[in-house]
Structure 1
Amino acid sequence: MVKFNLTYYLINHNVWPEGPERIEILTLNYTIDMMIGELYVITFVTAIKITLDFIKEHKRVTDLEKANLETELLFLKSQISPHFFFNTLNNIYSLSVEKSNKTPKIILKLSELMRYMLYETQSKRQTLENEILCIQNYLDLERIRHDERLEVNMYISGDIHEKEISPMLLLTFIENSFKHGANKNVGNVKIDINFKIKEDFLYFSVSNPMPAVTNHVDNLSKSSGIGIENVKKRLELGYNKSDYKLSIKNKNNNFVVKLKIKVA
């Protein structure tokens, strides 16, 4: 009725010029046609509003999920340093009880690692070069502790420049190899570490001898401890499934970890 009266008094007495006949009074045909036309407009506007609301809500949920993932990643990353330092401090305590002259060197190496972990691992990605340097410092620390009974072979092939990786990811595997290899075996221990860069991927592997005691082997087969589980969770949250492949196996009386991961 509003449309009819506005058209009749302000525009033209023929309120339906596009219709089949001249309309100067409110008829049923005119009313039905106008209602259908307005229904189209309302439906179209409603569809736009629902679509915009859906997009806005989807963005809100996506941002919230992203924030939650980042928070969880930061929490997982924060677990690494205490876990690592806890093990190392235990070693320092053992050496101090023995009044070993190795203690000052180990404390110095530990301080270098602490500096790296506190100030260089805040971003999502760290250069592969820095990560390898951190690993070398850790290996130096372990060599001081174990002397000649420990043989560590580290191989690097390919171009490691301008490659990036999630910080403190690889060190956990290496620390685990010492924890279950060098620390739980009597006699000489050999640990092999390999870094191979091929195109956009790093092919990383570390192997250590299995402990002789059966219950240790059982623990290893279950990948116990927060270290390995922490890394698995960080890989799930920080990388696409197509960007990495992790394999942990017992092979020829050796515990072998292989990781293919995108570093481009």
Structure 2
Amino acid sequence: MKEKWFKNTSSFIPVKYHVLFWTGYFTFNVIRWGSYFNDYWYSLKSNLVEFPLHIILVYINIYYLIPKFILTKKYITYITLFLGFLFVLYSARTGLNYVLVTENIWPEAESQQQAFTFNHIIAVTLGEIYVVALATAIKLTADWIYERKRNEDLQKIQLKTELKFLKSQIQPHFFFNTLNNLYALTLEKSDVAPEVVLKLSDIMQHVLYDMKEPLVRLFDVIRYIQNYLDLERLRYGDKIISTIEIIGEIEDVKVPPLLFLPFIENSFKHGVKNVEHFKVNITFENMDNKYLNFTVENAIDEQQNINNTSNHGIGNHNVKRRLELLFKDNFELKTYIANGNYCVQLKIPIQ
């Protein structure tokens, strides 16, 4: 399919703004030259002849010459065609003014001038270039604003899409682990299996509904984490010792869903099998309603290579990437060893 002339692939400026621009510019020109010659009737007639030609050249330049030749780096072709259009416009303008307005084709000159002389051609074409440059500058500015907004919108869509993808990766991982726990209990014909089903149902309700929201109540998140800890305790029995400590008011605090669970999951994944008694301590601290400090500590095997933190799972790329998307540089994530415990500390702004 051949490309159509005057096809605008940039910003769309409503017709009313084109009309307002040319009406305002025409009025200004009539008053300006009418005052200069002290003859407003002559100024009106000459502008009625010239302005349609201005408009034609401006739109040819904006919607055809620039997209087809400037954007494709065919500069010599652009200059050649533009000069050709300028000459055609000069000829048409000069002829129409002579026939319809006045035989004095250059009234602002000090003496009577002839058409198609060097000085007259330069004077007329410079005036046309001024009009074209002004209109083109306005159009390119509108295109720049439009393109910047479009890029910002695309970036927002990309970030939302990536966040949804990362969250979708977390959910199957969690349910896979939980179903494994339930499977182990059913093999043992444990009486606590029904309780596991109830807690899993509560967690599924949280995931299905809260995951659609950008922010959820921290109170609900903590209840969700408590259910997870209960499920792990049902699986491992007295081997699990867990605490959740809350410092400060959290009633009005909201956080992104499923942000903290991966850290707790990793604690069980890499710690519970290697110690006789697995202790995990979780803390949520409201720091003056500005930041939320989340800490999780769990016991580790002394024989474990404590220097290899990536094996502990906290180096999970998805978690870090999600934090970057959510908070950019406004968060702190630390992992360290203290008193035989592996510690993760996450500080995020309260939203």
1:247 alignment partner in structure 2 = 334
Q: 1:13 touches 1:24 (CA, 8 Å); kept in 2?
A: no
2:214 alignment partner, SS class: coil
Give the 5 Å matches for 1:149-164. Answer: 149-164=239-254
1:190 alignment partner in structure 2 = 279
Sequence identity (%): 44
Pairing partner for 1:235 from 299, 307, 323: 323
Q: Distance in 1 between matches of 2:252 and 2:104?
A: 76
- CA 173–26 in structure 1, closer or farther in 2 if over 3 Å, else same: same
- Greater RCO structure (CA 8 Å; 6+ sep): 1
Structure 1: unaligned runs, 5 residues or longer = none
Q: 1:8 touches 1:24 (CA, 8 Å); kept in 2?
A: no
Q: Which has the higher strand share?
A: 1
Q: 1:129 touches 1:161 (CA, 8 Å); kept in 2?
A: yes
Q: 2:199 touches 2:231 (CA, 8 Å); kept in 1?
A: yes
Give the 5 Å matches for 1:1-264. Answer: 1-23=91-113, 25-181=115-271, 183-198=272-287, 199-214=289-304, 217=306, 221-223=309-311, 225=313, 228-242=316-330, 244-264=331-351
Q: 1:210 touches 1:253 (CA, 8 Å); kept in 2?
A: yes
Output the TM-score relative to the length of structure 2. Answer: 0.68
Q: 1:172 touches 1:227 (CA, 8 Å); kept in 2?
A: no
Structure 2: unaligned runs, 5 residues or longer = 1-90
Deviations 1:19-68 (A, max 9, x none): 33333544221111111111122222222233333333333333233222
State the superposition RMSD in angstroms.
Answer: 2.3
Q: 2:270 touches 2:313 (CA, 8 Å); kept in 1?
A: no
Q: 1:69 touches 1:237 (CA, 8 Å); kept in 2?
A: yes
Q: Distance in 2 between matches of 1:189 and 1:224?
A: 15
- CA 37–95 in structure 1, closer or farther in 2 if over 3 Å, else same: same
Return the index of the structure with the highest Cα Rg: 2
Output the TM-score relative to the length of structure 1. Answer: 0.88
1:38 alignment partner, SS class: helix
Give, in angstroms, the shift of residue 167 of structure 1. Answer: 0.4
Give, in angstroms, the shift of residue 170 of structure 1. Answer: 0.8
Q: 1:159 touches 1:197 (CA, 8 Å); kept in 2?
A: yes
1:222 alignment partner, SS class: helix
Residue type matched to 2:259 in 1?
A: L
Q: Distance in 2 between matches of 1:158 and 1:145?
A: 32
1:145 alignment partner, SS class: helix
Return 17-26 or 251-260, whichever deviates more: 17-26
- CA 18–253 in structure 1, closer or farther in 2 if over 3 Å, else same: farther
Q: 1:80 touches 1:227 (CA, 8 Å); kept in 2?
A: no
State how many pairs are aligned: 260
